[in-house]
C-alpha cells in the first residue's frame, strides 16, 4: 500500500502503526504535546480534544 495512506489503531484510538503516507498525514498527532510520553502511542481523541493548537 505505497500509494495510499494506511494506519492501524485500536479501540482506544491509539495509533499503533502507519506506512509512510500515514505518518505524514498524522504527523501533528505524533508531535502533539498531549502525548503522555515519547514511548506511549499517539492518541487521536486526545489530540482532537486537548491539543492547544486546535483551539
pLDDT given for residue 2 in this prediction: 75
Alpha-carbon distance 30 to 46, whole Å?
11
Q: Is the pLDDT of residue 55 over 70?
A: no
pLDDT tens string 11-46: 999 999 999 999 999 999 999 998 888 889 999 999
Domain that holds residue 26: 7-54
pTM for the structure as a whole: 0.81
Res. 53 pLDDT band, cuts 50 70 90: confident
Q: How many domains does the chain have?
A: 1
Cβ contacts of 27 within 8 Å, gap of 6 or more: none
Domain-located, residue 1: no
Domain-located, residue 36: yes
Domain-located, residue 35: yes
pLDDT given for residue 13 in this prediction: 95
- Tell me the three state secondary structure of residue 42: coil
Amino acid at each position: 500500500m505505497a500509494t495510499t495512506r494506511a494506519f492501524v489503531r485500536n479501540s482506544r484510538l491509539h495509533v499503533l502503526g502507519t506506512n509512510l503516507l500515514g505518518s505524514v498525514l498524522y504527523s501533528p498527532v505524533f508531535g502533539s504535546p498531549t502525548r503522555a510520553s515519547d514511548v506511549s502511542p499517539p492518541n487521536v481523541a486526545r489530540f482532537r480534544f486537548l491539543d492547544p493548537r486546535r483551539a
